[in-house]
A and B are shown apart, each in its own frame.
Chain A
Amino acid sequence: SQQGEEDPQALSIQEGENATMNCSYKTSINNLQWYRQNSGRGLVHLILIRSNEREKHSGRLRVTLDTSKKSSSLLITASRAADTASYFCATDAGWNFGNEKLTFGTGTRLTIIP
């Protein structure tokens, strides 16, 4: 399967600043999700945005989706040291068998400097 691209690959910011990560994908999607992964650990689901939605908020997270450009962005406001992790976007093509598998982007490694 074709992976999506994320940029930047790595991002270092000062605590309290906002962090923005971008994700581009290649095929039509049903949903796009963002996950966080701490080093050597499993994935934590952050937020899901459907293909018919343009923006979604959850706490300090804001996700946008532009299906015409096949891209999404994740904004983390007022960053904290605990936000240091890798962030991945993932897309699925539907709920039925064969389409439900997630295709992950290349990831952004975010480092928050205290």
Chain B
Amino acid sequence: GAVVSQHPSWVICKSGTSVKIECRSLDFQATTMFWYRQFPKQSLMLMATSNEGSKATYEQGVEKDKFLINHASLTLSTLTVTSAHPEDSSFYICSARGMEGNYGYTFGSGTRLTVV
């Protein structure tokens, strides 16, 4: 089945630094990738949708200059949290959808970001 690998699974960084999270589709080509943020005991909130080779579409209220998304190839999308602050601490999850439009949206295992 479709597999999405997300790295790192957890990261601790200092305030003001930047963190990059990678999301790779291992056995299919992901034309569209989605990035979500999830606070403890809450649901997933979509941050942005990215299509290979084009700029990401951000949801209302998400700062595009703070959360940089790059979808340079059909198997890789990255989310960079720039100048991270403690309020950015959260669980970030990516999801990928292939060209065949199969019904499943395959999710990565998530990244726990803690900013200290």
Contact = CB atoms under 8 A, between A and B. Distances in A.
A41 B109 contact: yes
Interface stretch (B14-22, B44-52, B65-73, B80-88): B44-52
A97 to B, nearest CB: 7
Contacts of A33: 103, 105
Interface residues of B, number: 27
Given A40-B110, A45-B104, A95-B101, A107 B43 contact: yes
Given A42-B110, A104-B43, A107-B43, A48 B93 contact: no
Interface residues of A, number: 25
A48 B105 CA distance: 11
Given A42-B6, A42-B108, A42-B109, A104 B101 contact: no
B51 A97 contact: yes
Interface in A60-110: 88, 95, 97-98, 100-107, 109
List 8 tightest A-B contacts by C-beta distance, closest first. A42-B109, A43-B107, A42-B107, A104-B44, A48-B103, A45-B104, A104-B43, A42-B110
Interface of A: 1, 3, 31, 33, 35, 40-45, 48, 88, 95, 97-98, 100-107, 109
